[in-house]
Each structure stands twice: as C-alpha cells, then as structure tokens.
Amino acid sequence: MSVTTSSSSATPDWSRMARRTLWNRTGFLAIVIGFLTVVSLPIVLPYLWLLAISLTGKGGDGTTILWRLFAVAAAGYLALITIALFAPEGQTAKRLQWGVTLVTVAALVAGVGPYLTIDNFAFLWDPASVAAERGSQSRIGLMPSVWSAMGNSFAFAGAQTLIVTVVAAPAAYALSRFSFAGRESFLRGLLLLHAFPALALTVAIFIQMYWMGLLNSLSGVILVLCALELPFAIFVLKGFFDAVPWDIEMSAITDGASRFQAFRMVVLPQVVGGLIAVGTFTFLRGWEEYVFVQTLLIEKTSLTMSLYLFFVSEDSMGVDYSLVAAVGVVYVLPALVLYIFTQKYLTQMSFGGIKG
Amino acid sequence: MAKITLDKVTKSWGQTEVLRPMDLTIDDGEFVAILGPSGCGKSTTLFLLAGLYAPTSGQILFDDHTVNRVDARDRNVGIVFQSYALYPHLTVQQNIAFPLRFKDVPKDEADRRVREAAALVQVDKLLERRPGQLSGGQQQRVALARALVKEPNILLLDEPLSNLDATLRIAMRAEIKALQSRLGITTLIVTHDQIEATTMADRIICMNNGNIAQIGTPDELYRSPHDIFVAGFIGSPPINLIKGEARGDTALVGERVLSLSAIYRGAVTFGLRPEDIALIASADTAMTGKVSLIEPMGREIFYTLQTPFGRLHALETGETARFVIGETVGLTFNAQRTLFFDAEGNRLPGLNADITTTIHEPVPSVRHPSHAEVAQ
Ligand SMILES: Nc1ncnc2c1ncn2[C@@H]1O[C@H](COP(=O)(O)OP(=O)(O)OP(=O)(O)O)[C@@H](O)[C@H]1O
Ligand SMILES: [Mg+2]
C-alpha cells in the first residue's frame, strides 16, 4: 500500500537494502560458524593431541608439536572460512581455497615434519623388538600380537553386526506390518529395554554366562551384546519399514511373489539405508565395547582392541605414553573409516523415525 | 479372460461391515466401472477379487470356479494401484519384467514381452529410467504395462487417473478404453469420477456404503436410477430434488401442484435434471421463475432460479446467457424425464409429473418441512 502512495516522494534504495541483507547474512553465518567452532574445539583437540603424541619420538616434546599443529591448522581453517564468507562465489573462491589448503599442508610439513617419527607404531610390524626394548616382563612382551587383537575385534563387532541386522530386520518387519496380540506392549517393552542401563546387568549376566559355560569365550560376549543391542536396532528399523508403502508389497504379491519374496525383493531394498545405519551403529558399539569383554573374558586368552589398549596403558613396567597414543590411533582408525563411508546413511536415521 | 461372479460376498473388519452381501456377475471381456463416494468399499471389492483380502463370507468365482482359497499370486490378476506402486529401486524395464520373474518364461521371450508391453503404453523410450524420474502419467503407463505383461485374466484399476491433470486424464481415458477393447480383458476400474465411468465402461456399478446401489449401463443409471442416492450421485451438475406429497392423481411439490401419470399417495421426492428444464423468454407459461444466479461453464450456462418449487438449477446449451439476473422467465420441463422417489428413497417407476394447466392456489401444509423454507 505505502509503495503506491509514496512512490514519488521516496524511491526505496534497493542497493542499500541488498547490502544490508548481505551483511546480516554474513554476520549470522559468522556467529553460527564461530559458535560451532568453539563448541567443537574440546572434541577435536584430544584427537589432535592423540595424533601429536603418537607421532612424537622418545625425547620429543609432544606439547610443542601439538601447538604448532594446532596453530597451523587453525590459521588454515580461519583462512578457508574467511574465503567462504567474503570471496565471490565460483572459480576464484575454489582456487583460493585450494591455495590455502596447499599452503597449510606445506606449513605443517615444514613446521612439525622434522619432529615427527613413526617409531611408536613399530608394534604393528615388529612387536618382538618393541617387547625386547620394553623388557620381557612388560605387558607388550606378554600379550599376543596387536594383529590378533585387531582380528578379534573385527570378528567380534562383525559377528555382532551380522546377527543383529539379520535378527532385527524380520522382527522390525513383523512389528511394522502385522497386527498381533501384544504388539503395542512389545514395542513399549523394546523402548524400556533400550532405556535400561545395561551395566546393572553385569553380575547377572556373568552368572548366566558361567552356567552356560560361555565365560571366557568371545562368542558368549557376542551373544550378550547382541541381546543388548537388538531392542534399539529393531525399533529404528521398524521406522524404516513403516515408511515403505503397503501398496508395493501387495503389488509384488499380485505379480506372483510369495510373501517372503515380496519382503526380500521389494521391501528390503527400500530399507537398505536403514540396514546400513543400524549395522554401522552396531559395529561401532561392538568395536568400542570394553565393559563386557573385560568382565566376561576373565582369563584374557583372547583380547580385543579395547583390552589391548587397556593393558598397554596399565603396564607394571611403567607407561610409554607415545605407545599408548599410537595404539589409540590404530584403534580409532577403522571406526573413522567406517564412519566416513556410511555417514550418508547415519544422518537418515532418526530414532523410530519416518525418514527412509 | 474370465467371467467374474460374486455370490453373497461380505467383508468385515472386526465389527465394522465394509461390504454388505454383494451379488454380481461380470461377463468375459466386459469393462465395468465401480463408482461411489469415498469409503464406500470400492478398493475393498478390488482387493477381494485380487485375493489380497479374504472375504468374510460368500463365494468369489472366476469362470464358475471358486477362488476363495486361491492365493493372490496364483489368480493371474493384473492390478494398477491408485499410487501406481512401482518398485522404486528397479528401472522401468525391471519393473515391467517383475511379474515374469515368477513364471517360467525364457529370458528372450521375457525381453520380448516387456518390450511389447512397454510399446503398447508408449513407454519404450523410458526403459532405463527409475520411477522417481518419471512424470505421473508415465508412471501410470508403466504400472499398466506391468499389469498387462503377465497377460492377466482380469485387469483391476484402482483410480488410475486420479493423479493426472485434466488433459492427460482425458487422453489416458481413451487409451485405456481402446487398449481394453483390443485385448478383450475383463476389466474393473474404480473411480469416483462419474465422467470417467460413463465414458469408459460398458456397465457401471454404483456403490453406496458397502452396498451395490445399482448396476447398469451409464444411460440406465442416468435415466432410470433405482433410488435417490443413484439419482443424486450420477449427473453433473446434480439433479434437482424437491420434497413433496402425492395425493392421488396430483402432487404438491414446493408450492406447486403437479398432475401425476398414475395414482400414488404419500410423501415423495420429485427429481428433475437441470438439463431437462427449458427456459422460455416469455413469462406467459404455466410456471415461471426468477433468475438469481448465472454461471457460464463454457458450452453451457448454469442458471439458479427461484421458483414455486424452491431453488432450482437449470442447464442450457449455449455460450452466452440469454437472461439477466432478476429476470422472470417461463419454465417447462419434459414430463417423460421426471422422477419420483418414495419416503425410503426408492424410485417409483412409471410415475411422472406434468405441470397442470390450471394454476392451483398454494395449499399450505404442515406435513413437509421444506414448505416453510420454500415460502420465503
Ligand atoms: N484394514 C482395514 N481395517 C479397518 N477398516 C478398513 C480397512 N481397510 C478399509 N477399511 C474401511 O473400509 C471402508 C471401505 O474402504 P475402501 O478402501 O474400500 O474405500 P474406497 O471406496 O476405496 O474409498 P476411496 O474412494 O477413498 O479410496 C472404509 O470405511 C475404511 O475405513
Ligand atoms: Mg480406494
């Protein structure tokens, strides 16, 4: 209305308004980025530190390396953000960003490169010499090789992933599709089980494992963790199945498929994202598991990576922090790689969610 | 190709009766439309035929064999769901080929049949796409090709055109009709669009609230509806329905007395289709009305009039209105086309009405409530 009445007296200054909008947007973005950066610092720093220590030699100064690492990385990060905020979009910005990245990497190599060593990772390829150096009574001398622990961890988390997804998928499907007596209470029970602190069960599970003759066996712990993980997996997968339309399943059946074929050929492919998400979560849970392997594998004849890390840091002959850090890095790496490959699916998952 | 018979088929979900006992025969090669308001059990009927639901009681027969216990997968029924229900993870080619995976069809023959079915509905250029990359009309064709590729005995279409825009709908209507008469498959199409039903089908099943209200050709449903529901449901714009009272050889309808073609006594509803009313420029006729609203609809003009019957709708062919709002016009109607329904809403066949030439004084009556409303 006002435009029509006052058009002659004051034409709005469009360019000024556009500039103001740009500034508002930039300011808002800057605040958001600043906040996120500050919040993630405490999370990122320990990992940087871990990396720095694991790469520092015996006489080296881990702290110096950390600060240099941090300073260079922070400078690079700030430069990248400034470019993203202010530089014109398109080719120039891209080229600038690549330049900054290269400079940062070069600075890292020049600044901290000379101080770095990979000696701490020698336990990976030459455990005998590490053991000899640390003394035959040191933990690393007494323990089986890191590779057997790594293998155990993979088998442990892998088997758990397999069992949980294979059991949870049909269970979730049934809960999503069929109505049967007790369905509602079953769903509520699942939630309750998930909310229940599993640690409270340790003693009971220990006794049960003892009677079942599964103490000290990796498969026993796998079963325990599967039982604990299943409620969550079923609940999440049910959300994915709920999102698959009833029609396409019925369509498959009129096309000549059996109920099972319809499930396998038509429904399951729609929930692949959910299966990957649930599988990844289960794998990561198994990979990080410490409490139940520690309690249930009393004789420690087979170790997982979490136990390996624990024993390296509990060495009665004195702790070598560089070694602990190196083992830590090796421990984190597979989880990180898995996460990078599956993060696309993890973000689709919301608890009991509709997203598919 | 199959004849379908339903023998007292019912379907209940728990306590709610969705289908009341239903008897029905559909001949081999017939194209039948199921028409009815939302929730009246149209989809349920289709799913019963497809075998996706089991009837609560009664028999379903294909070619005089009971198929109640035959699995959906063995009935050889092609179905197009309202949502099309294409498999999102498969290409168009794989979607159409899906039903053949469960039959012993050799690979090269399967390929040939998929190509034929795709060509039939003109999606042969899209075989490598996925359903997400298709328009609504293309998805609908793919669903049709998938239903046809297995050479079904019966084709069931559940509101296949409801997601399409008007132009595409008209085009697809003709295509489906042509395809059906070429292939001669017994076909049932569910719709709540009566134009769709009347243009495509040989016969229409008009359903109401789990019952079959009437089965017949489009013309039968239109000209001789069995009850007031069918009369009101078929026809657009809808029929004028006016409450009245029959008194032997006359009937008081609104404020007007009409002469009846037969003797009847009791409460009646008088039905008159808008297109059966003729408007006359001179106000010199036995009955007149005052134009209160004019709605041009392209080829037709839709008038709303205040008459002794109360408010009346009339439809006249023509591109421009002959009258203006407020004008008093003469009214006549075709006595042969008038309908009467009894107090239960059932048609009173053989009863017609004509405007009496002698104008009776309005006779106030306390027995029908619409009178007061009309009198204003
Ligand atoms: N699984 C079910 N459980 C309970 N009631 C149901 C179920 N399926 C359908 N109904 C009921 O049956 C009635 C008929 O449903 P149906 O799907 O056949 O309607 P429709 O005529 O196809 O309607 P629309 O035109 O909206 O598709 C509806 O009242 C519906 O609520
Ligand atoms: Mg329906």
**Last-in-domain residue among B233, B258, B288:** B233
Flag the least confident range among A162-176, A263-277, A308-322, A334-348: A308-322
The amino acid that residue B38 corresponds to is S
CATH superfamily of A139-346: MetI-like (1.10.3720.10)
Which pLDDT score, from 0 to 100, does residue A113 have? Answer: 78
Residue from A249, A255, A267 whose CB has the most chain B CBs within 10 Å, to mutate: A255
Q: Would an 8 Å CB–CB cutoff place A254 in contact with chain B?
A: yes
- Please tell me the distance from the alpha carbon of residue B183 to that of residue B181, in angstroms, as a whole number: 6
Please report the pLDDT score of residue B23 as a whole number: 93
CB atoms under 10 Å from CB of B127, counted, come to 17
Give the range among A172-176, A345-349, B288-292 with minimum mean pLDDT.
Answer: A345-349
Among the partner residues B77, B83, B89, nearest to A247 by beta-carbon distance:
B83
CA distance linking residue B219 with residue B203, whole number of Å: 9
Number of structural domains in chain B? 2
> Is residue B131 reached through a cis peptide bond, with omega within 30 degrees of 0 on the bond before it?
no
- Structure token pair of residue A150: 């790594």
Residue B346 carries which DSSP code? B
A100 φ, ψ (degrees, to nearest 5): -60, -45
B120: pLDDT strictly greater than 60: yes
The sign of the CA dihedral B247, B251, B256, B257 is negative
Q: Which of A3-12, A211-220, B135-144, B188-197 has the lowest mean pLDDT?
A: A3-12
End-to-end CA distance of chain B: 59
* Any ligand 1 atom below 6 A from CB of B38: yes
Q: Which residues contact B240 (CB under 8 A, 6 or more apart)?
A: B271, B272, B273, B274, B277, B309, B312, B313
Clarify whether residues B228 and B245 are in a common domain: no
pLDDT for position B9: 95
Residues A52-62 have a mean pLDDT of 76
- Under a CB-based contact definition with an 8 Å cutoff, are residues B367 and B310 in contact? no
**CATH, residue B20:** 3.40.50.300
Q: Is residue B130 predicted with pLDDT exceeding 60?
A: yes
Which residue in chain A has the smallest CA separation from B104? A256
Does the pLDDT of residue A287 top 90, yes or no? yes
Query: Which residues in chain B are contacts of A256 at CB distance < 8 A?
Result: 73-74, 99, 101-103, 150
In this structure, the answer to whether residues B273 and B132 fall within a common structural domain is: no
Q: Would you call A185 helix, strand, or coil by DSSP?
A: helix
Res. A85: pLDDT tops 80: no
Over residues B10-38, the mean pLDDT reads 93
* Index of the ligand 1 atom closest to the CA of residue B190: 22
Instruction: Give CA–CA dist B79/A80, Å, rounded.
Output: 57
Asked if the interface predicted TM-score (ipTM) of this complex is over 0.85, the answer is: no
Confidence of residue A329 (pLDDT cuts 50, 70, 90): very high
> Of B233, B261, B295, which residue constitutes the final position of a domain?
B233
pLDDT of the residue at A2: 44
Over residues B236-281, the pLDDT tens digits come to 899 999 999 999 888 998 888 888 989 999 999 999 999 999 998 8
Residues B218, B265 share a domain: no
Q: What is the pLDDT of residue A5?
A: 47
Query: Residue B192: CB within 6 Å of ligand 1?
Result: yes
Give yes or no: residues B225 and B256 share one domain. Answer: no
Token pair, residue B165, equals 């825009």
Averaged pLDDT, B48-55: 94
**Subunit contact A255:B89, Cβ cutoff 8 A:** no
CB–CB contact B78 A248 (8 Å): no
* Averaged confidence pLDDT in chain A: 85
Tell me which of A151-155, A214-218, B65-69 is least confident.
A214-218
Domain with B260, as residue range(s), is 240-375
Are B221 and B246 part of one and the same domain?
no
Q: Are residues B267 and B228 in the same domain?
A: no
Instruction: Give B80-95 pLDDT, tens digit per residue.
Output: 998 899 999 999 999 9
- From residue A32, alpha-carbon distances to A22, A26, A36, A211 in Å are 15, 10, 6, 56
For chain A, the structural domain boundaries read 13-117, 139-346
Average pLDDT on A335-353 reads: 77
Q: Which residue among B210, B233, B256 closes a domain?
A: B233
User: So what's the pLDDT on residue B282?
Assistant: 79
Quick one: B221 and B345 in the same domain?
no
More confident of the two residues B345 and A97: B345
- Testing the interface with A: which of B67, B102, B113, B154 to mutate, by most A Cβ within 10 A? B102
| Same domain for B161 and B278 | no
Q: Does B204 sit in the ligand 1 pocket, CB within 6 Å?
A: no
Residues B301-331 as b or e (16 or more Cβ within 10 Å = b): bbbbbbbbbbbbbbbbeeeebebeeebebbb
Confidence (pLDDT) at A269: 93
Cβ B43 under 6 angstroms from ligand 1:
yes
pLDDT of residue A3: 45
Chain B residue numbers with beta carbons less than 8 Å from the beta carbon of A248 are 85-88
- Show residues of chain B in contact with A252, CB under 8 Å: 87, 98
Report pLDDT for B1.
Answer: 65
- Suggest the residue from A253, A254, A259 to mutate for an interface test with chain B (most B CBs closer than 10 A): A254
Measured distance CA(B238)–CA(B313) in Å, rounded? 9
Tell me what the pLDDT averaged over chain B comes to: 89
Share of chain B above pLDDT 70, in %: 94
Q: State whether the beta carbon of B37 lies less than 6 angstroms from ligand 1.
A: no
CATH number of B324's domain: 2.40.50.140
pLDDT tens for B179-225 read: 899 989 999 999 988 889 999 999 999 999 999 999 999 999 999 99
With contact defined as beta carbons under 8 Å apart, do A286 and A161 qualify? yes
pLDDT score, position B21 = 92
Query: What pLDDT is recorded for position B356?
Result: 66
Query: Which of A24, A321, A259, A302 minimizes the C-alpha distance to A155?
Result: A302
Same domain assignment for residues B315 and B204: no
pLDDT at A350: 56
Cross-chain Cβ contact A256/B99 below 8 Å: yes
